[in-house]
Amino acid sequence: MAINIEQIRADFPILQETVYGKPLVYLDNAATTHKPQQVIDAVSEVYLKYNSNIHRGVHHLSNVCTQAHEEARIKVQQFINAQHSHEVIFTRGTTESINLLASSFADTFLNAGDEILVSQLEHHSNIVPWQLLEKKKGVILKYIPINQAGELILDNIDELINDRTKLVAVAHISNALGTVNPIKTIIQQAHSKNIPVMIDGAQAVQHVKVDVQELDCDFYVFSGHKLYAPTGIGVLYGKEEWLNKLEPYHGGGEMIKTVSFEGTTFNELPFKFEAGTPDFSGSVGLGAAIDYVNNIGIDVIAQYEHELLSYATQQLSSIPNIRFFGTAAEKASVISFLIGEIHPFDIGTMLDRMGIAVRTGHHCAQPLMQYYNIPGTLRASFAIYNTKEEIDKLTEATERIAQLFG
Amino acid sequence: MTINEIQEEIIEEFAAFDEWMDKYSYLIEIGNDLEGFKDEWRLEQNLIEGCQSKVWVHAELQDDKIIYSADSDAIITKGIIALLIRVLSGRTPDEILNSELNFVEEIGLKDHLSPTRSNGLLAMMKQMRLYAVAFKAKLG
């Protein structure tokens, strides 16, 4: 099925904005995506019609709001094909999901000398929470190395996943390079040794079909705001058996069954991990975003974005001295590059003046930049509303800027 | 020339550019031409790490005047540094501390000094003033 790009662009009001008097060309979607009117309306409707604190009201609005929040949970469940809706924990985003898991997992399962395995291309949010455990618990962080193309090298995976490994935590798709990692192989390898796996899906759920049962991952985390949903809402999916084994992360209201000064019993899943008033307008927005994506079809989105990526790679290749970072055989929606030795900040600054928004810098993946020995890259990342015309503008502008630097 | 006269001179120079592209070409040119930062000064203590670009600043006193030298890994940042040095280097601490820098805003590059740019320039300007305070104390 072909997509109606005009219709899709019309759904996103912000795309009509101008930057320095020029039409906005937004190619920073790996950082955050824009929101369609349908999502904006769903969030507005919460405040216009049924805002009320959830799960504890006897009154009508509270019930309506609770229902909307729980319907959103079911939409997430179906979107990632989780077995149960109570396996979907709402968080503030990927970062909080990983911190929650790191903290709760460490409480029960980690001791000095235990190893956590990540990869060399992780975002800082899947490095630092584990590093904090190095200090707190004496846990050791190991990583799967990459090759020049930005692909994980699995040759020594048997040694990397060993008796001391307690958890494997890897990105589904690299935020800086766009590499689609062989997570299924990694999950199988880890499971053959009874080691659980967490997949960071922050860069994946908006681009490819995710089926957590088919992947058989034990945890899967992602953010709403990169999936056309509002900021401040995210998801920690966990298999029921694992979530039941973990201690709560935050304490407070909602997550308890009974409280006395002598002791507290905790509520069941998913509420055990959702202390305090949850972001119910965010969850409703996330539900609307999932509806939006489902209406177009994630497979249709994947195919269209793949066309954009191929086109961008081909067009940008014509620029003299371009250096691509991340040339993996399997990639999604991200193109990272430099022109000769020109600093990415210089090109990014000038692209901005031309109305073109890209990300410059280390993309919160400094170990990866250290591997390539570069200060950072320019990163263009695509979403469903981008067009080939926008890629042409990026190519022409980059070439023109590069000429100024001689 | 006073600090304000040099600021005026720069503002006039930039007024000649109709297009933002010409303005940036000029910054690239003077950024490329900025020299004099010695390797021995490229130390951790002289580094101002912006999230996006790095800036190194060195200052020393010569005949009661402060001589600034600076460098950056990004050329546009370096171009703006060249302008700051042109305005402030070779001045007494008092001249620097009493100055009000408005030229960056006047030539339409205020964006580059915003904390959100995180290119190290704002921190560099603060650092230049701190050097002036320190050298003033030293001179007594």
pLDDT at A253 over 70: yes
Flag whether A210 is in a domain: yes
Q: Which residue of B has its CA nearest to A20?
A: B20
pLDDT band at residue B115, thresholds of 50, 70 and 90? low
pLDDT at A206 over 90: yes
> Are A265 and A308 in a shared domain?
no
> Are A272 and A305 in a shared domain?
no
> Are A16 and A122 in a shared domain?
no
Q: What region, left, alpha or beta, does residue A252 occupy, with left being phi > 0 and alpha being psi -120 to 50 degrees?
A: left
The predicted pLDDT at position B116 comes to: 65
| pTM of the predicted structure, to 2 decimals | 0.94
Check if CATH label 3.40.50.2000 holds for domain B3-139.
no
The average pLDDT across A201-221 equals: 98
> Are A51 and A108 in a shared domain?
yes
Q: Which residue of B has its CA nearest to A377?
A: B52
**List B15, B43, B47, B51, catalytic entry:** B51
The predicted pLDDT at position A333 comes to: 92
The predicted pLDDT at position B117 comes to: 66
Q: Assign residue A80 the CATH number of its domain.
A: 3.40.640.10
Backbone angles phi, psi at B16, to 5 degrees: -75, -15
> Are A223 and A318 in a shared domain?
no
**List A186, A364, A368, A383, catalytic entry:** A364
Flag whether A220 is in a domain: yes
Nearest to B52 among A350, A360, A404 (CB): A360
> Are A185 and A301 in a shared domain?
no
Q: What region, left, alpha or beta, does residue B64 occupy, with left being phi > 0 and alpha being psi -120 to 50 degrees?
A: left
Q: How many structural domains does chain A have? A: 2
Residue A88 Cα to chain centre, angstroms:
15
Contact A391, A311 (CB under 8 A): yes
pLDDT band at residue A266, thresholds of 50, 70 and 90? confident
Residue A136 Cα to chain centre, angstroms:
26
Pairing status of strand A140-144 against strand A165-171: unpaired
Spans of all domains in chain B: 3-139
Domain of A358, in residue numbers = 5-30+297-404
Contact A152, A182 (CB under 8 A): yes
pLDDT digit string, tens, across residues A130-155: 999 999 999 999 999 999 999 999 99
CA distance B139 to chain A (A): 39
> Are A15 and A53 in a shared domain?
no
| Residue carrying structure tokens 């001391």 | A164
The predicted pLDDT at position A55 comes to: 82
> Are A319 and A391 in a shared domain?
yes
In total, the C-beta contacts within 8 angstroms joining chain A to chain B are 39
Residue contact A405–B75, C-beta within 8 A: yes
Q: Which of A248, A275, A294 is the last residue of a domain?
A: A294
Is position A217 annotated as part of the catalytic site?
no
Question: Measured on CA atoms in the order B4, B9, B14, B15, is the torsion positive or negative?
Answer: positive
Backbone angles phi, psi at A269, to 5 degrees: -65, 145
Single-letter residue type at B12: E
Contact A126, A169 (CB under 8 A): yes
Q: Which residue of A has its CA nearest to B51?
A: A361
pLDDT digit string, tens, across residues A372-399: 999 899 999 999 999 999 999 999 999 9
Backbone angles phi, psi at A275, to 5 degrees: -70, 145
Residue B15 Cα to chain centre, angstroms:
20
Residue contact A361–B77, C-beta within 8 A: no
Between A28-32, A73-77, A309-313, B79-83, the lowest mean confidence (pLDDT) is in B79-83
pLDDT digit string, tens, across residues A94-116: 999 999 999 999 999 999 999 99
pLDDT band at residue A58, thresholds of 50, 70 and 90? confident
Instruction: Round the average pLDDT of chain A to a whole number and report it.
Output: 96
The CA angle B69-B70-B76, to the nearest 5 degrees, is 140
CA distance A141 to chain B (A): 25
> Are A289 and A304 in a shared domain?
no
Q: Which residue of A has its CA nearest to B120?
A: A345
* A109: exposed, middle or buried (Cβ count in 10 Å: 0-12, 13-18, 19+): middle
Contact A315, A392 (CB under 8 A): yes
As for the ipTM of the complex, it is 0.89
Quote the CA–CA distance of A107 and B102 in Å, as a whole number.
55
Percent of chain A with pLDDT over 90: 92
pLDDT band at residue B92, thresholds of 50, 70 and 90? very high
pLDDT at A25 over 70: yes
The predicted pLDDT at position A256 comes to: 82
CA distance B6 to chain A (A): 26
The predicted pLDDT at position B118 comes to: 66
pLDDT band at residue A1, thresholds of 50, 70 and 90? low
The number of CA neighbours under 13 Å toward the Cβ of B106 is 17
Flag whether A35 is in a domain: no
DSSP assignment letter at A262: T
CA distance A147 to chain B (A): 26
Q: Quick one: angle between helices A344-353 and A388-404, nearest 10?
A: 120
Residue numbers in B near A349 (CB within 8 A) = 24, 76
pLDDT band at residue A261, thresholds of 50, 70 and 90? confident
